[in-house]
Amino acid sequence: MKIQMKWELEDPYNLIVFMFGFIMLGITFFSGLTRNDVVFMVSGPDEIIVSESAKTLGLTLPRLGTEEYTIFALTGALLVSLMMRYDRDTRVAKSVYSLPVRNYSVVLSKALSAMVLLFLASLLPAFLAFVYIHGDIPDLIGRALFGEGFLAGYLIYWAMMVLYVVSVSALVAMLSPNTFASLLGSITLLYAPLVLKLRSLPPAVINEAFFKAYTTQFYPADRVVTFLDGSFYTGLLLPVVMLGVALILSEWRDVS
């Protein structure tokens, strides 16, 4: 499984998609931060203003709006379709899956490496864009990330988004007949909640849970717990179930 993951992480096709996602997301995050005119209303002594401004700064950390989600979902769907469907289309998979490993383990390692790539392609440009704009206030950034507990929530936020996108695409890839269908299907499914304005599915539900947790709660631990509580079913449980179904399907379905 480790060797399989190494193959996938070094695959040039996957890395081209990775670079596409990395650069496009970085640019979008950056231009989102430059037109930022975030304001906060608070009154009180200076300490309260300092902590409120650290919190507001934490809330400006790049997250997935409509534009960013488009690129993010496209990158995820492309990565997973390329990894899981393309080798089956080109008959390369026959030699891979005939190795003495179970099918589900190959598919799981592909899903895990897609998650690693997508996670890196979103988290690194997010921090890069943030530092390229607000790099001259290290004290406040440190206060926002550690004192206000944004780092933990932010990492969980991206992990959830990545998990959701990869599992939806993996399930579609296992069900569909070829790469094209898999790509089209997963983009449609990932995009549907955005177009239909469904507030009970990701990305809206994860975004809202994050925002709510960090604006209503005061202590970092409470914030993380509230965030997990608000997004548990659709942000964690649903993707894990979908990934499980995809793994079971991979055992049932013949490789070709």
Partner 1 sequence: MRLLKAILLSTILITILVFPIEKNALTQPISGVVLVGRGMIVPSSGVALLSSNAEDGTEYTVRVFDPEIGEAILERNATGSFRGRVMLKHSGPYYFSIRTMTPVTMAVRIINRYPSVTVLNIRYGLGGVSALLLAAILLMEGRKK
Residue ranges in contact with partner 1 by CB under 8 A:
9-10, 12, 15, 18-19, 22-23, 26-27, 30-31, 33-43, 46, 49-50, 52-54, 56-57, 60, 117, 120, 124-125, 128-129, 131-137, 139-140
Four-CA torsion 104, 109, 112, 116, nearest 10 degrees? -170
d(CA 57, CA 86): 42
Shortest separation between residue 42's beta carbon and partner 1, angstroms: 7
The distance of Cα 184 from the centroid of its chain, to the nearest Å, equals: 19
Closest approach of Cβ 55 to partner 1, in Å?
Answer: 10
Residue 104 or 127 with smaller CB distance to partner 1: 127
- Which CB, 136 or 254, lies closer to partner 1? 136
Q: Which is nearer to partner 1, 137 or 241 (CB)?
A: 137
Furthest C-alpha separation in the chain: 69
**Whole-number minimum distance, CB 58 to partner 1, in Å?**
11
Cβ pair 5, 113 in contact under 8 A: yes
Tell me how far apart the alpha carbons of residues 168 and 246 are, in angstroms, rounded to a whole number.
9
User: What is the nearest approach in angstroms of partner 1 to the Cβ of residue 177?
Assistant: 30
d(CA 246, CA 175): 8
